[in-house]
Amino acid sequence: MTLAKSSNLPNLAGMTHAQLREFFLAMDEKPFRATQVLKWIHQRGVTNFQAMTDISKPLRDKLDAQAEIRLPTIVQNFESEDGSHKWIIEVASGSRVEMVFIPESGRGTLCISSQAGCTLDCSFCATGKQGFNSNLTVAEIIGQLWWANKNLGGFDDVLERPVSNVVMMGMGEPLLNFEPVMNALNLMMDDCAYGLSKRKVTISTSGVVPAIDKLKDYTDASIAISLHAPNDALRSEIVPINKKYPIAMLLNSVKGYMASLNDKRVPVIEYTLIAGVNDHRQHARELAQLLRDFPCKINIIPFNPFSLSDYRRPSNTSITNFRQILQQAGYTVTVRTTRADDIGAACGQLVGNVDDQTKRSSRHLARKGVDVIAASSDVQVQADSV
Ligand code: SAH
Ligand code: SF4
């Protein structure tokens, strides 16, 4: 199915309920048409106006002439031995980004990308290493959820949808593509679209403080903070945005967002554990101390290796020790099990194919002695998938 042909017509796949209402009003049509079209696209997976049988034929013809429903194209599909799926989608800029579906008992989580590449260059992240090409549009972000439903049978039975949870933990920094991500979140949680609960939609951020400060005016989704270090000196080394927005400023901003939610949710602190970098017992103690007045859950993500990184995954003993210190200090701690690394889809391994606009990827490759011309093509995907 070719869904990505581009045109200048308004793309209804990327409009929120409110924007669709405006669209129909501007066409001199009744605003309830927005609800009908929203349900056709996002609850039944229909992209052809003529198949929308509760809409009159003249209006269907008018929509055919004046609008389109355009979603990104799926170009590759991988299935892991553990049942996870990774799909590579092509977006308008020509870049390829990845999304991952992870089935678990009682839930199915879809990990969605927000950007082709990332500008932030965290030292342990494959996406960061490949530089940045473009922000995804709303249709390209929500299109990932649409495609997961399409491919996994989610449009056959609205009550039995395979994707129960969405995490914005794919490629890119969601808060640096603010408005499209907010609109896509709105669609995910709209009862006439995907109807996901605010508890089951999570934005993961490396700490873009001004965006967190304004988040409450746009969404009430759950939030995860990629902390990865217990002090500014170490965090600035591995998460460069920390130089601009240090830990105290970040935690304060997150506190403000949590207060606005007015419920019992707490943020998740993500901590990618890297052997010899941030996995010492002293780091765990320092982290316990740092977060003492900050209600949260802690999620340890053992580092997932990729070809351009010299970092190593810590031993199981270090992971257990780190977790125990935090648990003994009273924290709820989970250790993320590695899923889908046989298809290069584990956390931090996502690379797609990004025509880097920042030239960062060639610098990293040159440092590793890799032929830059060869590595800037599909070869990069292969290298990280094995
Ligand atoms: N930009 C956002 C969301 C995408 S990254 C963020 O940084 O939060 C999603 C998660 O994967 C983050 O917690 C990130 O730190 C983690 N991650 C990145 N690279 C990783 C790697 N190689 N191994 C394990 N986790 C990694
Ligand atoms: Fe970007 Fe997140 Fe990767 Fe950092 S960890 S480079 S913010 S995608």
Q: What is the model's pLDDT at position 365? A: 58
Catalytic residue chosen out of the listed positions 90, 98, 173, 270: 98
Pocket test for ligand 1, best of 226, 254, 334, 337 (most atoms within 8 A of CB): 226
Q: What is the model's pLDDT at position 129? A: 87
Q: What is the model's pLDDT at position 359? A: 67
98 catalytically annotated: yes
Domain boundaries, the chain: 12-66, 73-384
Judged by DSSP in three states, 19 sits in helix
Helix axes 281-290, 316-328, angle to 10 degrees: 30
How many angstroms separate the Cα of 227 from the Cα of each of 4, 17, 289, 312, 345?
37, 34, 14, 18, 21
Q: What is the model's pLDDT at position 347? A: 66
* Domain 73-384 -> CATH class: alpha beta
Residue 313: strand pairing partners: none
> In the chain, which ranges are continuous DSSP H helix?
17-26, 32-42, 57-66, 126-129, 138-152, 178-189, 209-215, 232-238, 247-261, 281-290, 316-328, 360-367, 372-375, 379-385
Q: What is the model's pLDDT at position 213? A: 98
Instruction: For the full predicted model, state whether its pTM sits above 0.85.
Output: yes
User: How far away, in angstroms, is 93 Cα from ligand 2 center?
Assistant: 20
Stretches where the chain sits below pLDDT 50 are 1-2, 370-386
| Number of other CB atoms surrounding residue 271 within 10 Å | 27
Q: Is 122 in the pocket of ligand 2 (CB under 6 A)?
A: yes
Q: What is the model's pLDDT at position 376? A: 28
Q: Whose CA is nearest to atom 4 of ligand 2?
A: 122
Catalytic residue chosen out of the listed positions 111, 125, 296, 347: 347
Q: What is the model's pLDDT at position 363? A: 65
Ligand sitting nearest the alpha carbon of 349: 1
Q: Which fold has domain 12-66?
A: DNA polymerase; domain 1 (1.10.150)
Q: What is the model's pLDDT at position 384? A: 26
Q: What is the model's pLDDT at position 115? A: 96
Q: What is the pLDDT of residues 86-101, one digit of tens each?
A: 999 999 888 999 999 9
User: How far away, in angstroms, is 352 Cα from ligand 1 center?
Assistant: 15
Q: Which residues of 8-46 are buried (b: 16+ CB within 10 A; e: fewer)?
A: eeebbbbbbbebbbebbeeeebeeebbbbbbbbbbbebb
User: How far away, in angstroms, is 172 Cα from ligand 2 center?
Assistant: 6
Q: What is the model's pLDDT at position 195? A: 96
Share of the chain above pLDDT 70, in %: 87
The sign of the CA dihedral 51, 55, 56, 62 is negative
